[in-house]
Amino acid sequence: MPNRIWLCGDTHMHSSISDGKYTPDELISKCKTKGLDWIIITDHNKNAVGEKSYYSENLLVIPGAEYTGRNGHMNIYGSGLPEFDGTRPEKYEQYLSMSALAHSNGCTVSINHPFCSRFGWRMPLEDFPADCVEIWNMFMHQSNMTCISWWERQILGGRRIAAVGGSDYHRDYGTSNMLASPTTFVFAESNSEKDILSALRRGNSFITNSPDASRLVLSYKDCVQGDEVKFVPGMKVHLRAERLRKNMTLRVFNNEKIIYEHRIGGESELNEDISITEKGFVRAQITYRLRGFRKAFFNIKMALWRPKEKNIPYDTAVWCITNPMWVV
């Protein structure tokens, strides 16, 4: 397998071309300060980037658009973006047609924040022809956890739909800058549109709270999460965890079973070889409990951004999560 590298980016953001505050150039400048390697600008029913990807210094800027209607939002990534006529889709058939057109043009399709109380997916979800699903939209909150649970059921059932995260960034709020929160890291052959989107579709990735937050990599020989490996009795998958934070919990799953659990103490890194006993998949995640100041601050944010969700019980949040490594 060719050499691959980890590259970080944000799959979902808006410029002043639609309803964001900043021009595309201003947005790109802000992304550079975050240390991102690649971004996808996804304005509502508009293409802010142009026909092809380009580099602004070392930052790869990929064309994208958020196909937006009252019944659901869907991101389209890639240089083959369909042209948009300015109308908002109303019917499921329009989303199906747009997904088919995007795929025929070589684009990647992702269902956005399907369980969001304001802008959720109000159409058939399980069989929709998408490559990815945005399980983590802006800061971690209740509807993201609902989406993660839905995605878990999908992959347990054998559906290979890759998880992505996107900040859905529009503007700063006071001192709060949620750009690249979350961040999606992909394991790609190069920082090119072709390789970034291929890694997103395969699930060679993990999603974490920010560019500087914890990192999780599952490996077996030269394969990582998103790759397919052959089951061998007695096989072990290597877990490398970096930039760990105290009092969070790290778990590894073999299908629905927890096969490794560790309460993080003072260590910043961890390496473990973990036995896999079943075919299916293996994945990892880090969670934390909402307590004290963190809980109070979260409640304030929810009252502002998602008031319909603010009273939903919520005390455990995902901090970092991998896509599955498929074991066949």
At 294, is the pLDDT very low, low, confident or very high (cuts 50, 70, 90)? confident
CB 198 within 8 A of CB 168: no
**Tokens encoding 240:** 């490398």
Q: What is the pLDDT of residues 125-153, one digit of tens each?
A: 999 999 999 999 999 999 999 999 999 99
Parent domain of 226: 5-327
pTM, full prediction: 0.95
CB 66 within 8 A of CB 87: no
Q: What is the pLDDT of residues 6-45, one digit of tens each?
A: 999 999 999 999 999 999 999 999 999 999 999 999 999 9
CB 276 within 8 A of CB 246: no
Q: CATH number of the domain that 198 lies in?
A: 3.20.20.140
Q: What is the pLDDT of residues 235-246, one digit of tens each?
A: 999 999 999 999
**Tokens encoding 19:** 């309803």
Number of neighbouring beta carbons within 10 Å of residue 25: 10
pLDDT at 271: 98
Question: 26 pairs with which residues across the strands?
Answer: none
Number of independent structural domains in the chain = 1
